[in-house]
Every structure is written in structure tokens, then in C-alpha cells.
Amino acid sequence: MDRGCLDLRPERAERARRRPSRPEYRALSLPKLIQADSMPDRRQFLTSLGGAAIGSALAFRPAPSGSGKPRTDPPNVFFLSIDDINDWIGVYGGHPQAYTPNLDALAQRSTMFTKAYCSVPLCHPSRIATMTGIRPHNSGVYVAQVGWQEQIPGAVHLADHFRQHGYETLAGGKVYHHTDRFGPPGETWLWDQQLFPPRLEHNPNIDGSLNGIPAVRGFDWGTPQVPIEEYGDEKVVAWCLDRLNEPRTKPFFFAAGIFKPHLPWYAPQEFFDRFPVEDVILPTIIEDDLVDVPRIGRNFVDRYTRTEHIAEHGIWDDAVAAYLATISYADDLVGRLLAGLAASPYADNTIVVVWSDHGFHLGEKLHWEKNALWEEATRIPLFIQVPPSLGGSGIAPGRGQASGRTVELVDLFPTLTDLCGLPTPEQCDGRSLAPLLANPEAEWDRPAVSTWMYKNHSLRTERYRFIQYRDGTEELYDHEVDPLEWTNVAGDPAYAAVRDALVARLPQTNRPVDIDPDLDPETGENLSLKSYPNPSAGPVNIEFVLREPTEVSVTIFSMLGREVRQLADGRSFAPGVRSIPWDGTDDTGARLPGGMYLCVVRTLETHETRRIVLLP
């Protein structure tokens, strides 16, 4: 099959490729590459940054580097997370319409890591790995149902480590994942001051649908009818700004968490107005992208039927616009926090770290959200700003620079202890990034490790991504020629030496945990619809379980949402395990081309979806 590029909304393809004419995008002075009328080539954009100073790469004016002798006071730490944000940030070049002037400005005065990766592509385990410095394959904290208290009860947490060494600790917003369930008990032993406000803009709408489309697990967007000051993130920002203006007698470790752009995508209307749906540029995909992906990798794809939902309602461009809008809102919130810090008495002695817990797919590799081991789910933005007080440490403060070395979130714990002159706990799996802050091109032979559920690992070097699943199946992508990870070369003899070298660097410890690896990673629900063999060049058996007699419809769709085969239309079935074969043909009896298809089984009360890979 021709692996040509396509849109899920082909009728809008021409319109989507038109460049928006809004003046704010032209004013960003971003590299020429990302002003193209299509999604940028990730490899070319990152190469354009290299290890050079951000000022030259982005035509920014150099920021002041500070003056005077370095201070001897212990530096403060402002540790700011942005939930679920991928590389759709101006300076990262992930999307040509991203509008993030505050994060772009931060790049002028910090080290921006262009190849930074999460330890786990899910909020709770990623944050536990970050706050303890322990990778999930050593802790056993793989998914949302596994608490750190049971797995690593003696672990030292980042904030508590600073507290034990004389720091005041403060936290506002989402630092751990939903403090009542996943964070340390009440988190009160971690923080001297804290605010974890309810998100009132979500509560009235979480089971509803502001976008006018039936919601699927909170997959919604719009502007709630709630005063803006009642937004959870607004409360967090106001509280943090107040704390930054308070006098302090001790250095502080201050963690702040912005919830946006986590779903649902709720934001003030002005941010949606920046991204008219009719002008949105969509990611480029290929319909048979998952043909060469092993079974476990395909099973991770879009467990919440986002693709079916989007195809059914024709809302891919609406979703992309909403994500861009909430990223822009998050950038506004970040800007206010950083401006408040800059105006505070602590500006010249505070280390600033801005990070995300994981990336996010919006249709790339036919996947939505996180929960996968590919580039979009694992790559994160990461900025570290060093204050003038550390100017004598060999690190140039206030200078914008980019490092293309592969780093990971577990590196933050030892980095901060190193910069602040504290001992680093032996539990930490990461490595201090201080050498890269001093020289972004310093020698660094260390791949980034990401893990998704038990014994499924991804290694990311500066050129390659290697994935090995728990059953031994593999993926290998050469980013020098395949930045969108479309072609799995794990079985290509030309890459045998590369593959063997990467296998040798996989984690050797895989701490077992009492959880079924096939369960839904967030809810623990078991999914009853099955298809086998899958992938298949011949007949596929579609199996489902019925608890009582009912009428069932079984339909096959293309990834564009076009119905190609009706296998059952309200047919009556008795209770039990039932199966319907599909021979890979459409309703006319013609053989369908190889690629990915959606199988939807509906009863009067529910429906489930599975992907089927039809081999050529």
C-alpha cells in the first residue's frame, strides 16, 4: 500500500494548510522552518537549534547575565510543572501555530533541553519518578493504581530532602497526582505551606459536554460559565504570587503545578479565539502507520476510543484548536508566575525549572493522549534557569542556550541537589545535568529511559528510539531519516549492530507488581472485545462477551471514519462468548488495502472498539 500522508478531515485539507494571518504569530520571529504551511520536520528543527545559544537560533536579543560577585546564600528553587504539554511550544517547533511568548522568552535566559523525556507516559507514575528520582522499573510504580507508599515506603522525596536540609517547602496546584489519592498522605509532611484548590470550572462540566458532542472520558473543551477567578489554576497563580512577596528567613523549595493543558480543555474564550478552527493545521499521519508495530504496542493505542469518537463527529481540527488554546492559556499562567518571581526579592538567587510530566498525541501514530512509548508521548519540554548567584559555578546565568543531549525527568533530583550543594540520595537513578548547564554540548553518552507498564521500555538516544515490549517484540526508529517514527527497522539487517547495542542498555531490573498488564492503566477495567489473529493477512475472528440475549451490530470503519463493512446489523445473539469472522473485504466483496481499521461492536446499551491491522 502507498504510505502516503492523509488527514482525518480530507474535506478540510486545503483549508487547514493555509497559514493563519494573525499578526501575533508573525511577531514571534521563530526559525524559518516552523513558519512553513505544514507541520515541521522534527529532526530538521532540532538540528537548527543544536547546542547553540538560543539567542542566535531564534534571533532573540541576549538577556542580561547579571553583575557583581556571586552570593554565598543557598539558592532557592522554583519548580514549575505544566500538565500534559508536548512540544507544541514556539521554541520547540512542535506546531507552527503554537503561541507561547512566555515560554519562548524563558528560553532566552535558560538552558532548553530539546531531547528531554519522561520516565513514564502517565501523570501519577511520572511524578513519583520525578519526585523520588527512582525509575519505575526499580520502584514498581508503573500505573495509576499502584501507590508509592506500598512499593517504595522508605523513599526520600525531593521536597522533603530539601526540607531536611533547612529549606522551607511550599506547594501550589498539581505537584503529585490528585493529592487525596495518589500523593503522600495529605502531603502535609512535605510542605510548610500548601494550596491544592478544587477546579470549579471542571466540576459542573466533567460529565457533560461544553463542545456539544457527547463526552468520552472527559474529552471535552470550551469556556465554562464560571468566573475566571474560580478556575483552579487562577487560584494557584494568585496564591503563589502572594507567597513570592512574603519575607523569608530560610531558602525555599517552591513547587507549583499548572493543570492546563490537561483534559478537559477548559479555558477563557479569548484563548480559543486565537485559533479559529477553520485555520488549524493538523498533524500529518499515514493510515497504515501501525502495520509494523507489535501487538502490545498496538494494544496501547487509544484505549479510550478517541480516534473513533473524532472520526464519527469530524472534530480532529476542533480538538487540535482546543489543545493549542489551552497551551496558550497555560503559557499565560506561566508568564504571570515568572514575572512575579522576577519582581520578587528572590529573583537573583532562585533556580527555575519548568517541566512537564509527559507528552501528548493528537492523532500521530493513530493515537491520542499519552500511554505509549513513542516520541509524542514521551518527549517533554524542559527549561532550567540558573540565577546570577551561581555565576561562579562555571554556569553562565541568564544566557539562552539549547542542549540536544538526551536527558530525563529522574535527572532533576540530582541536578537540584548538585546546584544547591546538598547530598544526593543513593536511591536516585538519574544524573546531574550541571555539566550540560555549563556546556550544552558536553560529552554525554546516556540514553533516556521511558517505561510503560511492566517490562515495556523505550530507549531514546540522540539518533534512535528503541522499544522492547515484555514479550520480546521490538521497534526501532532512526530519527535521522524518520523523525515521525513511521518505519520500524528493528528487523532490518542494516541496523542489527545498532539494535544489539541498544538491547545491552535496557534496564536489567523489572520490579514485579501485582497488576494485570492487560488491564486499563487508569481505571483497571477489563476490555472484553477481542480480535485475532491481529495483524492478519487472512480472516480475523471478532470475539465479544454477552451477559444476556441482545441485538448486536458489528461494523468495520477505515481510520477516516468511513464505513467499509457491516458484519452484523442488529442481529440477535444468545449470552456467552460470541464470534464473527471478517475476511478483510468491504461490502462489495472487494479486498481492502492493508492498513489499520476500526471494529465497532454495539449493543443497545454499550459499544466497544478495537483496531485491526490488515496486512497487504
Which residues are designated catalytic?
123, 177
Name the percent of the chain in helix, strand, coil, to the closest 5.
30, 20, 50
Q: How far apart are CA 253 and CA 378, in angstroms?
A: 26
Q: How far apart are CA 525 and CA 17, in angstroms?
A: 40
What's 180's DSSP letter?
Answer: I
| ω into 261 cis (within 30 of 0) | yes
C-alpha dihedral, 210 to 362 to 586 to 571, nearest 10°: -40
* Element housing 597 (H / E): strand 595-602
Do the Cβ atoms of 510 and 557 come closer than 8 Å? no
**584: closest CA among 552, 542, 525?**
542
Helix intervals (H) in 179-287:
232-244, 269-273
Do the Cβ atoms of 124 and 61 come closer than 8 Å? no
Phi and psi for 351 in degrees, rounded to 5? -80, 135
The pairing of beta strand 221-222 with beta strand 193-195: unpaired
Cell numbers of 420, please?
544547591
Cell numbers of 451, please?
517505561
Q: How many degrees, rounded to 5, is the angle at CA 41 between CA 109 and CA 497?
A: 100
Strand partners, 403: 113
Q: How far apart are CA 492 and CA 292, in angstroms?
A: 12
Do the Cβ atoms of 123 and 443 come closer than 8 Å? no
**3: closest CA among 338, 292, 306, 340?**
292
- Taking phi over 0 as left and psi of -120 to 50 as alpha, with beta for the rest, 365 belongs to left
Q: Where do we find the cell 442481529?
A: 571
